[in-house]
Amino acid sequence: MSDRPTYTLKGDTGDWEVVLGLEVHAQVSSNAKLFSGASTQFGAEPNQNVSLVDAAMPGMLPVINEFCVEQAVKTGLGLNAQINKYSRFDRKNYFYPDLPQGYQISQFEHPIVGEGEIEVDVEPAHGDPAYAFTVRIERLHLEQDAGKSIHDMDPTATYVDLNRSGVALMEIVSKPDIRTPLEAAAYVKKLKSIVVALGTCDGDMEKGNLRADVNVSICKAGAYEKFRETGDFSHLGTRCEIKNMNSFRFIQAAIEYEARRQIEIVEGGGEVDQETRLYDPDKGETRSMRSKEDAHDYRYFPDPDLLPLEIDDAFIEGIKVNLPELPDQKRARFESDYGLSRYDAGVLTADAESADFYETVAKGRDPKLAANWVTQELFGYLNKAELDLSTTPVSAVQLGGLIDLISSDVISGKIAKDVFQRMIDGEGDPADIVEKHGLKQVTDTGAIEAIVDEVIASNPDQAAAVKEKPKTIGWFVGQVMKASGGKANPQAVNKILRDKLGL
Amino acid sequence: MSDLTKLTLTAAMDGLEKGDYSSVELTQAFVDAIAASNASLNAYVVETPEKALEMAAASDKRRADGKAGRLDGAPLGVKDLYCTKGVRTTACSNILGEFTPTYESTVTQNLWDEGAVMLGKLNMDEFAMGSSNETSRFGPPSNPWRRAGSNATLTAGGSSGGSATAVAADICLAATASDTGGSIRQPAAFTGTVGIKPTYGRASRYGMVAFASSLDQAGPIAKTVSDAALLTEVMCSHDDKDSTSLNVPTRDWMSEVGKGVKGMKIGVPKEYRIDGMPDAIEKLWQQGIEWLKQMGAEIVDVSLPHTKYALPAYYIVAPAEASSNLARYDGMRYGARQDGDGLIGTYEGTRADGFGAEVQRRLMIGTYVLSSGYYDAYYLRAQKVRTRILQDFEAVFADVDALLTPTCPSAAFAYGEKTEDPVQMYLNDIFTVTANLAGLPGISVPAGIDNDGLPLGLQVIGKALDEASCFRVAGAIENAAGFVAKPEKWW
């Protein structure tokens, strides 16, 4: 692992650094909402998944969904975080048509999960060395989602869909430990891999089930270190919060834009206003949503309809013993059991599907060969074709069969790539493809000798030259392979050539 | 047949059981009485005579089949705070418009499950905010009691003024009510009826229009302590739909009523003796102490030193919770709506139009005390006071079984007397808010009349979950007082 690089942005007054802290909202995987029995199923007709509680009818009361509590604790354990045996729900009061109660039930003062930390791997794009860094988690709390306001169905009216109203969210707040746009994306990826592995959130960013608010500020070299020593935020610049981003690409682009914007303001003699901003992916810029002066006074206070949430050690232990293998643990196991590099192990354990796929391919086979075929050939193809493992044309069993053919010298590695292409094209099992197209490696020495003889005979000049320069034997190997249609066993070709040429 | 409406609930249940009359006959008597008097009394804001007679007929059938419940066939009134399926429920606020719930509150469901009959919905202060029922969108009910020699209409108290009026005027056998700061006990005291606020969490708040969640508690107003005990037994239950509902069994409280107070230790808190309290109330309190002594109770002077902070703390906590609880009335999904300029205009129009002046005042106070910068000074401090008040009670309850106090610092007053000065109105709750802040059971029992001939109540406050002692002491006072006075019928 390499050292963590410093990310700097050039300004007129010198170099600037960025400081980032993220608030990630992850929708809890649960059949029912946080405080009502209504369904959370995605894609229902508008206002179908709405109970009397969700619609805030008079006299309706929230009742905690214990499964959501379990999911939050599970996530906390996955973040190596303190689980708070006492937590409490507070009301965050504001008026909006998609907030039927007129308040969101959240956890303000006493979250269910306290401080934790996770290690995040970063793989820079331009061939710079990979590195890892630690993000300290400040807290995780449970809260209700709001409904959805739809402004574009009617020129004068806003429509409200309350299906999401009351759905459980986990808000995961990081400390300002993130220093580059790429790190921010990597952090969200890591969180996603953890919650998906735990089954506490499906991580579906397109549906908005995982989304991030990013706090961005800028500072000069050295200031951040002073902040870390003292905990004094005045060493850092004024932060702006960019709300609700649901793609890694947008997160990075928004941070880059926002950092530049702040540098321009400060270098122009201005001051950054503490405000909430929105990223517009079409224009590639952030714009002000509301300033600090317009900020709501949320009038937080403990929700008197709910008792404090008290959990005991037995509850936590019960969850702990049933925790699935987490991405970090899995990666460590892949490194030690399969002898993979940290990088390959990381790629293969980024999500459970990849890891399961790999383990099926690697079972009883050369683990490194299996890793190469999965990460380079298959993932390379899937990326290019914009597919993923759920839509892969090549199954783990088929890819395993291909590796078996290589390992048992039925085909060469080179031929294997042709076979792989045919598998992608839907020709079926590798053994059948090899059979059908006659791609079996020729190991019959007699047949190879005949080809070698012919090649030497047709190229007397080269045959003479190779005796002076034995390294050029490669040319002959190539000619023989070509003449065999690529099917000759390369080792056998090499040996026979050397014999015949007297090398 | 004598006038069935004069019966107590327990006597009516006996009569139904013996077959002296049917529920239909009994119910018809009340339906007729309501029809004849509600225009004057304004106790009911919704009358449901057809539903009542249907329910009564069904009850008679159940009784014939030997399947009668504990309240089978008993015609009751329901405070308009309780959501009743298919029957308009507005908490007497304009903002709820013609809101008709599709669901039933747990408390009323408990009543129907035991066979009770609904006569209609009873008047109350808007969202239960008031001590005189004057904030109701339907105007106040009239207390059946009047000062001797006066025709002035008096308040039946609030917020359960309609419930108290209906019980006192014999236009229901008994009624549900609710108590956030005294809204059961004060109207009971003003009308010569019995009202109990059980321990917080005894009765479910599901389907009760919320005022202040941590203080609201359901309870009955009835003609006798036994009637109140019977209704309390049926109204209370553990309910999974209310997270603050207590998972404790209800008790056989009716059997407590006649047990007497011999050997009990009753505390008399000195802080409840306040300046300007009418002599009649002071004298009645002394009389109550004497009765209990004579019946074998030991009287102990006790101190609840933080009592004087209770009323200010209450008027911070209750509006704070209300300001949030009432945010849902925004004109977006149900109730009245006043379209205005854009979203903000619609909010402002709807809420300015829909909420009355007192509700608006409390929403403003509540919003203010929760605001950043003021939260610690008001809300947080009030919660600390609340803890102190609870500790005061816990300390004295280590030594005594129950406390005896007046219910209110005055008898029923006339309309308009206290509406000019909200603080004067709030002061009416001074002896009752403490039980709400501490979550304790409190019962008001009529014990005498003042010089004007108006009823006065004494309050018994018990330990948490010890309604039993409240019923015992209240039963003893009821017995000793022999309170049989009824208002002279003018309506």
pLDDT tens by residue, A421-438: 999 999 989 999 998 888
Provide the pLDDT confidence category of residue B420 given band limits of 50, 70 and 90: confident
A3: pLDDT strictly greater than 80: yes
Average pLDDT value over all residues in chain B: 96
The mean pLDDT value for A488-494 works out to 82
Provide the pLDDT confidence category of residue B417 given band limits of 50, 70 and 90: confident
Q: Do B330 and A102 touch (CB under 8 A)?
A: yes
Neighbours of B3 (CB within 10 A): 9
What SS3 state is found at A302? strand
Q: Would you tell me which residues 260-319 of chain B have a C-beta closer than 8 angstroms to some C-beta of chain A?
A: none
In a 13 Å sphere around the CA of A120, the CA atoms on its Cβ side amount to 26
**Mutation choice for B interface testing from A34, A36, A61 by most B CBs within 10 A:** A61
Cα separation, B23 vs A216, whole angstroms: 72
The mean pLDDT value for A392-405 works out to 94
Interface A–B counts its CB contacts (< 8 A) at: 97
Cα separation, A401 vs A428, whole angstroms: 11
Query: How confident is the model at residue A437, as a pLDDT?
Result: 87
Q: Is the pTM above the cut of 0.95?
A: no
Which distant-in-sequence residues (6+ apart) come within 8 Å of A450 by Cβ? none
Which distant-in-sequence residues (6+ apart) come within 8 Å of A359 by Cβ? none
Catalytic residue among B22, B23, B37, B79: B79
Query: How confident is the model at residue A477, as a pLDDT?
Result: 86
Query: How confident is the model at residue A377, as a pLDDT?
Result: 93
Of A62, A91, A301, the CB nearest to B243: A62
User: Which strands form B455-462's sheet, in the order they lie side by side?
Assistant: B44-47, B117-122, B75-79, B174-179, B217-222, B194-197, B442-449, B455-462, B402-406, B265-269, B298-302
Shortest distance between the Cα of B241 and any Cα of chain A, in A, equals 6
The mean pLDDT value for B389-403 works out to 98
Average pLDDT value over all residues in chain A: 93
Going by the DSSP 8-state scheme, the letter that residue A45 receives in this structure is: P
Interface residues of chain A, partner chain B, Cβ below 8 Å: 52, 55-64, 91, 93, 95, 97, 100-103, 158, 160, 297, 299-301, 304-307
A124: pLDDT strictly greater than 70: yes
A357: pLDDT strictly greater than 70: yes
Of B99, B243, B367, the CB nearest to A58: B99
What SS3 state is found at B141? coil
Q: Would you tell me which residues 74-103 of chain B have a C-beta closer than 8 angstroms to some C-beta of chain A?
A: 82-83, 89, 91, 96, 99, 101-103
Query: How confident is the model at residue A485, as a pLDDT?
Result: 80
Tell me the two tokens of residue B411: 């008898």
Query: How confident is the model at residue A1, as a pLDDT?
Result: 56
- Ranges of H-type helices in B335-442: 342-354, 357-370, 381-397, 422-426, 433-438
Chain-centroid distance, C-alpha B279: 26
In a 13 Å sphere around the CA of B166, the CA atoms on its Cβ side amount to 38
Query: Known catalytic residue: B159?
Result: yes
Residue-wise pLDDT for B227-284, tens only, equals 999 999 999 999 999 999 999 998 899 999 999 999 999 999 999 998 888 999 999 9
Q: Do A93 and B370 touch (CB under 8 A)?
A: yes
Shortest distance between the Cα of A291 and any Cα of chain B, in A, equals 17
Which distant-in-sequence residues (6+ apart) come within 8 Å of A21 by Cβ? A173, A174, A175, A176, A177, A178, A214, A215, A239
**Mutation choice for B interface testing from A34, A36, A47, A60 by most B CBs within 10 A:** A60
Tell me the two tokens of residue A390: 């759920």
For A295, which residue in chain B has the nearest alpha carbon?
Answer: B372
B203: pLDDT strictly greater than 90: yes
Provide the pLDDT confidence category of residue B83 given band limits of 50, 70 and 90: very high
B68: pLDDT strictly greater than 80: yes
Query: Known catalytic residue: B79?
Result: yes
B421 to chain A, any CB pair closer than 8 A? The answer is no
Query: How confident is the model at residue A34, as a pLDDT?
Result: 98
The mean pLDDT value for B315-336 works out to 97
Query: How confident is the model at residue B250, as a pLDDT?
Result: 85
Q: Would you tell me which residues 233-262 of chain B have a C-beta closer than 8 angstroms to some C-beta of chain A?
A: 240-244
Percent of chain A topping pLDDT 90: 76
A chain contacts of residue B240, beta-carbon cutoff 8 Å: 63
Q: Check residues A343 and B2 and name the one with the higher pLDDT.
A: A343
Tell me the two tokens of residue A177: 């430990």
Q: Tell me: domain A445-501, CATH 3.40.1390.40, correct?
A: no
Q: Do A299 and B372 touch (CB under 8 A)?
A: yes
B338 to chain A, any CB pair closer than 8 A? The answer is no
The mean pLDDT value for B416-429 works out to 83
Chain-centroid distance, C-alpha A442: 44
Q: Do B241 and A58 touch (CB under 8 A)?
A: no
A188: pLDDT strictly greater than 60: yes
Burial class (CB in 10 A: 0-12, 13-18, 19+), A468: exposed
A chain contacts of residue B241, beta-carbon cutoff 8 Å: 61, 63
Cα separation, A14 vs A21, whole angstroms: 23
Measure Cα distances from B27 to B11, B34, B73, B231 in Å: 15, 10, 8, 18
Cα separation, B218 vs B117, whole angstroms: 18
Neighbours of A87 (CB within 10 A): 22
Superfamily of domain B1-491: Amidase signature (AS) domain (3.90.1300.10)
Query: How confident is the model at residue A412, as a pLDDT?
Result: 83
A352: pLDDT strictly greater than 70: yes
Query: How confident is the model at residue B412, as a pLDDT?
Result: 96
Q: Please answer whether residues A76 and A112 qualify as being in contact, where contact means their C-beta atoms are separated by less than 8 angstroms.
A: yes
Cα separation, B288 vs B295, whole angstroms: 11
Cα separation, B7 vs B1, whole angstroms: 12
**Mutation choice for B interface testing from A50, A93, A299 by most B CBs within 10 A:** A299
B chain contacts of residue A95, beta-carbon cutoff 8 Å: 327, 330, 347
Of A59, A97, A297, the CB nearest to B83: A59
Helices (H) and strands (E) in chain A, counts: 17, 16
Residue-wise pLDDT for B423-482, tens only, equals 888 888 999 999 999 999 999 999 999 999 999 999 999 999 999 999 999 999 999 999
Neighbours of B68 (CB within 10 A): 20
Q: Please answer whether residues B328 and A100 qualify as being in contact, where contact means their C-beta atoms are separated by less than 8 angstroms.
A: yes
B2: pLDDT strictly greater than 80: no
Provide the pLDDT confidence category of residue A329 given band limits of 50, 70 and 90: very high
Query: How confident is the model at residue A486, as a pLDDT?
Result: 80
Query: How confident is the model at residue A457, as a pLDDT?
Result: 87
Cα separation, B451 vs A450, whole angstroms: 134
ipTM rounded to 2 decimals: 0.96
A405: pLDDT strictly greater than 80: yes
